[in-house]
Amino acid sequence: SHSGKSTLVAALCRLLSDRGFRVAPFKSQNMSLNSWVTQNGSEIGIAQAVQAWAARAEPTEFMNPILLKPKGDRTSQVIVLGKPMADKSAEEYYREIDGLKGVVDRSVQELEKDYDYIVVEGAGGAAEINLFDRDLANIYVARHLQAPIILVGDIERGGVFASLFGTMQLLPEDIRPLVKGLVINKFRGDPAILGSGLKTLEELTGVPVLGVMPYLDLDIPSEDSVSLGDKKARSAADAVEIAVIRLPRISNFTDFEPLERQAHVRYVNLSEPLGRPDAVIIPGTKNTVSDLREMKEKGMADQIKSLTETPILGICGGYQMLGSEIIDGGIEDTLGTMPGLGLLDAVTRFDLYEKRTVQVKKTVTGGGPILQSIRGQNVTGYEIHMGVTSPKGQAAFGDDGAVSESGIVIGTYLHGLFENENFRNAFLDFLHRRKNPGLDQSLFPKAEIGVRAAKGDGFAELAQATEAHLDMEKIWRMLDLD
């Protein structure tokens, strides 16, 4: 995991698209809490949505037909073709794996109807010898498609030569000949020092090394929580500090990546001191009740409530936590009622195993010092949540969300909110005015768009780096594109 497979798939999707081909990404089974909602309301892993954007294609459920969203306690929500089916343990899931092979086959067939090329991403390591008979994302798809395979190794984690060589040795004998190239990723330094190692690796495996990719700092949304460990808060003397609560089951933290180049964004574990940030964000979570309970047990809830003058934004599960209480009918965690943080006058109920997944466009209706400047304007986003929240008082965005009387506590179900330039700038401008009241507002950092990749800049940069550092002639020959 986190070796760079998703990024390389995105790069190949963009390069094939640049050559005029219709190309689609595909990952048969993904495990991630960062997800995206397609135009028809299907939920898929965000990596496949990003890869589709790189390919200049519209994301669909066939690009990621099976999504596993971990809930803790060794269970995951199983999402099939964009819709939640059930919460299952690993043992229960694997008992039904044969039935899911038909879903994978159908998805490939659907993509083949519309696209010239499909670029497939595996999952985790490709040589999990204990899972070969149940490995939908790697072994099953490789056997089914007989496509050329590129192995990607992450040099930052150490032992990259052993990892690539060991993977080759452990792959099933019928899969090994499909491996046509090796890539070493995330190298910081002069690749010349790897020369003898690369030569020996080629001799040992009989597979060419296609190149060494440098570590790239790209504006492309992160795939899953593994990448949280790579995040380094950027700071400047006059930068505002935004604390994002790192919930145990944090989901869709890509919501806040548009802020990372404009503010000091700090992810705070529940047991850490919160300090005195300029704003606090409570993100989404796969299990609101369990994470709220842990927030209380570890003292983070009290730390947040003590910041009475600090703007607080709750998104999705974070919005649910900000309310007065959560009533769980056994859907989230257990039967019963749990008091929320009490910062918004709202009650959330979990009565049905139903999820709302939809792209939305809303009008800003909330007031107060943050929202008033963009009141009446539109924002777009997407919803992915269970539970229904009933707020009192003014809504934040049309029929969604809530705003406190002070206007500095806001809750909403809208993911992707900070990709809206109007909301992002309204939020950051308010924080800057508070932190630096003597500064000219025109000096406050603004960006045309939070995620450059949404306009293609990040993908163009990735494609250029891939062409510069990998032997693309060999890759094109794999695809009969001499």
Question: CA 73, 78, 83: angle at the middle one, nearest 5?
Answer: 145
Catalytic residue of the set 2, 13, 316, 385: 316
Reduce the DSSP state of residue 99 to 3 states and report it.
helix
Residue appearing with tokens 């503010």? 263
Cβ count near 209 (within 10 Å): 21
Residues 6 or more apart from 423 whose CB is under 8 A from it?
364, 374, 379, 417
Catalytic residue of the set 2, 13, 385, 415: 415
Whether 316 is catalytic: yes
325 is written with which tokens?
């209480």
CA gap 80, 452 in Å, rounded: 30
Per-position DSSP letters for 136-175, written without gaps between them = IIIIIHHHHH---EEEEEEGGGS-HHHHHHHHHHHS-TTT
Reduce the DSSP state of residue 464 to 3 states and report it.
helix
Name which of 467, 460, 334, 322 is nearest 402 in CA terms.
322
Amino acid found at 363 = T
Which are the catalytic amino acids? Answer: 316, 415
